[in-house]
């Protein structure tokens, strides 16, 4: 036997045979597995190919046909029926001409000024313009009810344009009442005007989420209704169980939103009614936003005297400070000159009558400079002191044209540099100081003559004495 060789015993031969059999079975299983995997991959590829084909076949096509566009934009029912006969494709994407100009990057690093196009569909066009019969025809022809090439659905468009019949029709054909737009808004968030109340009703009837949140601002529909001073919407949402205590990303409740939104003179009454309704429903008048601004802070900033009186009557804290150390009185004094038509002196008087902190006497010349256009505001502030030191700085703070317009008042004010306040005023100040925070509660119970009652509560006389 050669060196390095060895004799196989029967046991060793049997072991080798078993190993060979095991390897053979392993190769067989591997072959089988490979065959099955290849078959699965082939079938998967075939299925995906079919899916891609179907998607390609049903994907919306871009429409440049001006005849079709003209029929849609004019709401010509007969023309729409002709261009969309039975079997015609209704899921079209349309690029309206015009729009805002914007810079667009081109190849080679070049930029060009072009129109910003917003993609739309036949459904969007007809729904947004209230062409109900045209919309119905498109839906009957199979138009995709939730198609949103421009970032919002036709339902969003109909709600924004206040088209209740189109909203109802879209919902009855299966439109998603809780569809989110590209901007993260629900259809209910698009109901921002009094005329959209019927749209909101249909949405809620078809299951719209009453407390649904917008993605960016985290607003509920009640936030939107309160912010826009929509009394009908607010009543509707409260009946459907809208939450009063939900805060948005700025920490504002619906009541905060109503008080903080800029208000024109003609809108003050609407916002008052919305705030009263929210408070009667249980809204927290002490809720503050992320800057610790209360509803009273916000109502003072927007100079809504009736809302200020409402909040104070219900117990709002007149001297609560925000993160910047500002009380409601600071907020009103910063906007007096911009809101003269809103009668800011009424807000100042209400705050003082409820125990507001007064302006530091050394800062009165600065306040006079910015608030001189409202002499009644200055009068209320001055009457909160027993005595003040009128200097040349006071005279210089009032521009000549303002002095001329309100000459009688400012002459009486500047004369205080030479004479003390009257005994009548000192008696008023003493009584007000004694009653302090109980002034509003006590004075009406004294049964005083109207003149004295108003005098104690700092009603304007257009001069100081």
In a domain, 69, yes or no: yes
Contact predicate 177/145, CB 8 Å: no
Instruction: Please compute the mean of the pLDDT values over residues 411-438 and round it to a whole number.
Output: 91
Half-sphere exposure of 454 (CA within 13 A, CB side): 7
Q: Is the pLDDT of residue 274 over 90?
A: yes
For 206, other C-beta atoms within 10 Å of its C-beta total 19
Radius of gyration, alpha carbons of the chain: 37
In whole angstroms, give the CA distance from residue 6 to residue 319. 106
Domain boundary among 161, 189, 209: 209
Instruction: Please compute the mean of the pLDDT values over residues 443-451 and round it to a whole number.
Output: 91
How many folded domains does the chain comprise? 2
Q: Backbone phi, then psi, for 113, in 5-degree steps? A: -90, 120
In whole angstroms, give the CA distance from residue 240 to residue 235. 9
Half-sphere exposure of 389 (CA within 13 A, CB side): 5
In a domain, 327, yes or no: no
Query: Residue 139 corresponds to which tokens in the numbers above?
Result: 């839906």
Contact predicate 439/416, CB 8 Å: no
Domain boundary among 141, 176, 209: 209
pLDDT of residue 3: 46
For 258, other C-beta atoms within 10 Å of its C-beta total 34
What band does 67 get if pLDDT is binned at 50, 70 and 90? confident
Locus of tokens 């003072």? 300
> What are the C-alpha distances in Å from 282 to residues 69, 207, 276, 432?
51, 25, 10, 32
Query: Residue 32 corresponds to which tokens in the numbers above?
Result: 């089988």
Instruction: Please compute the mean of the pLDDT values over residues 421-428 and round it to a whole number.
Output: 93
What band does 20 get if pLDDT is binned at 50, 70 and 90? low
Taking only the tens place, the pLDDT of each residue in 336-348 is 999 999 999 999 9
State the distance between the two ends of the chain, measured CA to CA, in whole angstroms: 139
In whole angstroms, give the CA distance from residue 90 to residue 173. 15
Instruction: Please compute the mean of the pLDDT values over residues 11-39 and round it to a whole number.
Output: 55
H-type helices in 356-435, by residue range? 364-371, 375-382, 392-397, 400-405, 407-414, 423-435
Q: Is the pLDDT of residue 9 over 70?
A: no
In whole angstroms, give the CA distance from residue 258 to residue 61. 44
In a domain, 23, yes or no: no
pLDDT of residue 60: 76
Instruction: Please compute the mean of the pLDDT values over residues 166-172 and round it to a whole number.
Output: 97
Nearest-10 crossing angle of helices 344-353, 375-382: 10
Q: Is the pLDDT of residue 102 over 50?
A: yes
Q: Is the pLDDT of residue 43 over 60?
A: no
In a domain, 43, yes or no: no
Q: Is the pLDDT of residue 110 over 60?
A: yes
In a domain, 435, yes or no: yes
pLDDT of residue 62: 84
Half-sphere exposure of 348 (CA within 13 A, CB side): 30
In whole angstroms, give the CA distance from residue 456 to residue 78. 73
DSSP SS3 for 102: strand
Domain that holds residue 143: 58-97+112-209
In a domain, 355, yes or no: no
pLDDT of residue 27: 62
**CA dihedral sign, ordered 19, 25, 30, 31:** positive
Q: Is the pLDDT of residue 436 over 50?
A: yes
In a domain, 103, yes or no: no
**CA dihedral sign, ordered 433, 437, 438, 443:** positive
**CA dihedral sign, ordered 265, 270, 271, 273:** positive
CB pairs under 8 A, 24+ apart, for 149-153?
149/60, 149/93, 149/119, 149/120, 149/121, 150/118, 150/119, 150/120, 150/124, 150/182, 151/181, 151/182, 151/183, 152/181, 152/182, 152/183, 152/185, 153/124, 153/179, 153/181, 153/187
Q: Closest Cα to residue 151, out of 189, 124, 188, 113?
A: 124
pLDDT of residue 456: 94
Residue 414 contacts by C-beta under 8 Å, 6 or more apart in sequence? 390, 394, 395
Q: Is the pLDDT of residue 80 over 50?
A: yes
Q: Closest Cα to residue 334, out of 303, 380, 376, 305?
A: 303
Per-residue b/e over 229-240, b at no fewer than 16 CB within 10 Å? bbbbbbebbbee
DSSP letter for 84, please. S
Q: Closest Cα to residue 219, out of 202, 237, 206, 205?
A: 237
Instruction: Please compute the mean of the pLDDT values over residues 448-456 and round it to a whole number.
Output: 93
| pTM exceeds 0.85, yes or no | no
Contact predicate 278/226, CB 8 Å: yes
Contact predicate 299/308, CB 8 Å: yes
In whole angstroms, give the CA distance from residue 420 to residue 408. 18
| Least-confidence region, from 90-104, 180-194, 370-384, 401-415 | 90-104
In a domain, 62, yes or no: yes
In whole angstroms, give the CA distance from residue 307 to residue 328. 13
Instruction: Please compute the mean of the pLDDT values over residues 287-310 and round it to a whole number.
Output: 97
pLDDT of residue 420: 86
pLDDT of residue 430: 93
Query: Residue 90 corresponds to which tokens in the numbers above?
Result: 């209704």
Taking only the tens place, the pLDDT of each residue in 216-270 is 999 999 999 999 999 999 999 999 999 999 999 999 999 999 999 999 999 999 9
Q: Is the pLDDT of residue 114 over 50?
A: yes
| CATH code (residue 143) | 1.25.40.20
Domain boundary among 159, 185, 209: 209
Taking only the tens place, the pLDDT of each residue in 397-412 is 999 999 999 999 999 9
Work out the mean pLDDT of the chain and round it to a whole number. 87
Instruction: Please compute the mean of the pLDDT values over residues 419-431 and round it to a whole number.
Output: 92
What band does 109 get if pLDDT is binned at 50, 70 and 90? low
Taking only the tens place, the pLDDT of each residue in 359-381 is 999 999 999 999 999 999 999 99
Locus of tokens 């009810």? 145
Question: Pairing mode, if any, of strands 111-115 and 101-105?
Answer: antiparallel
DSSP SS3 for 326: coil
């Amino acid at each position: 036997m050669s060196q390095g060789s060895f004799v196989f015993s029967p046991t060793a031969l049997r072991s080798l045979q078993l190993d060979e059999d095991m390897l053979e079975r392993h190769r067989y299983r591997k072959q089988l597995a490979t065959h099955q995997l290849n078959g699965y991959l082939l079938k998967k590829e075939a299925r995906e190919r079919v899916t891609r084909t179907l998607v390609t076949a049903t994907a919306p096509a871009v429409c440049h046909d001006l005849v079709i566009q003209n029929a849609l934009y004019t709401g010509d029912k007969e023309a729409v029926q002709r261009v969309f006969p039975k079997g015609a494709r209704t899921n079209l994407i349309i690029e309206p001409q015009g729009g805002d100009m914007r810079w667009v990057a081109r190849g080679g690093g070049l930029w060009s000024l072009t129109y910003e196009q917003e993609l739309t569909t036949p459904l969007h066009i007809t729904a947004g313009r209230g062409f109900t019969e045209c919309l119905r025809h498109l839906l009957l022809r199979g138009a995709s009810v939730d198609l949103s090439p421009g970032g919002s659905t036709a339902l969003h468009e109909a709600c924004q344009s206040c088209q209740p019949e189109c909203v109802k029709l879209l919902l009855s054909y299966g439109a998603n009442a809780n569809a989110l737009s590209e901007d993260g808004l629900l259809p209910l968030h698009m109901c921002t005007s009094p005329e959209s109340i019927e749209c909101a009703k249909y949405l809620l009837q078809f299951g719209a989420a009453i407390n649904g949140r917008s993605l960016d601002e985290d607003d509920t529909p009640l936030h939107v209704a309160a912010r826009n001073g929509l009394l009908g919407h607010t009543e509707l949402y409260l009946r459907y169980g809208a939450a009063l205590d939900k805060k948005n990303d700025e920490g504002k409740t619906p009541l905060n939103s109503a008080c903080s939104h800029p208000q024109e003179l003609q809108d003050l009454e609407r916002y008052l009614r919305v705030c009263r309704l929210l408070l009667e429903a249980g809204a927290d008048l002490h809720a503050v936003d992320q800057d610790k601004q209360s509803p009273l802070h916000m109502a003072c900033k927007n100079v809504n005297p009736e809302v200020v009186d409402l909040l104070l009557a219900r117990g709002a804290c007149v001297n609560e400070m925000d993160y910047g150390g500002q009380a409601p009185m600071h907020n009103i004094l910063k906007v007096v000159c911009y809101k003269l038509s809103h009668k800011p002196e009424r807000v100042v008087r209400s705050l003082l009558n409820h125990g507001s902190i007064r302006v530091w006497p050394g800062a009165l010349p600065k306040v006079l400079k910015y608030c001189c256009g409202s002499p009644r505001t200055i009068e209320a502030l001055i009457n909160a002191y027993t005595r003040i030191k009128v200097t040349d700085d006071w005279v210089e703070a009032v521009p000549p044209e303002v002095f001329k317009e309100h000459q009688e008042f400012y002459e009486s004010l500047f004369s205080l540099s030479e004479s003390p306040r009257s005994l009548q005023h000192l008696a008023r100040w003493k009584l007000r100081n004694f009653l302090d925070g109980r002034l509003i509660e006590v004075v009406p119970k004294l049964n005083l003559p109207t003149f004295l009652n108003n005098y104690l509560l700092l009603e304007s006389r257009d001069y100081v004495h």
